[in-house]
Amino acid sequence: MKHWIHRPLPHHEETNVVFFRGTSLDALTQRLLDQRRRPLAYGKGTEWGVLMHDMFSWDSGDYDLPEYGRLCPAGSELVVFETQPCTAKAHGPSFQYLRDGQLITNFSFETPYHRGGEEPDLLLPTLTAAHLARPADLDRDDNEERIVGAVTGFLALPELEMP
């Protein structure tokens, strides 16, 4: 079985996985629909919920990411995994963590040592412990799974059971 970061839903190549807390599934769904993104699947855990949605808008030519800050009202958090940012160019996944509508930290899985956001080094101890913080650390085939494991462990995200 492939890890969910490679293709979280069968028959949907370009799917973003969004973990959320502090906001309701209904509110998050409505805000996604307002940005013309189709929710595809969801689940609710004890602390975090998860929603998967089409990466691209149903409007022709809208290939930008949703404005996740608008999806994350005060008192809420979002963890976003963009699983296939550009299949044609073979770019790796990316990650964003937002709190109260603000981007706290983000990075591409190809270069987790180049981080952005208000607290770019929030995950640095976790990435360092997982040997993912330097370019020399990224010489293995399972980097994407290890990055997901480090992030989900740090943020106590629920495991996704995928068929």
Divide the 163 residues of the chain into consecutive groups of 10 and give the mean pLDDT of each group.
Answer: 65 84 96 91 90 80 81 97 68 91 96 95 96 89 91 92 61
pTM of the entire structure?
Answer: 0.90
pLDDT at 112: 93
pLDDT at 1: 38
Contact assessment for residue 27 and residue 97, using Cβ atoms and an 8 Å cutoff: no
pLDDT at 44: 86
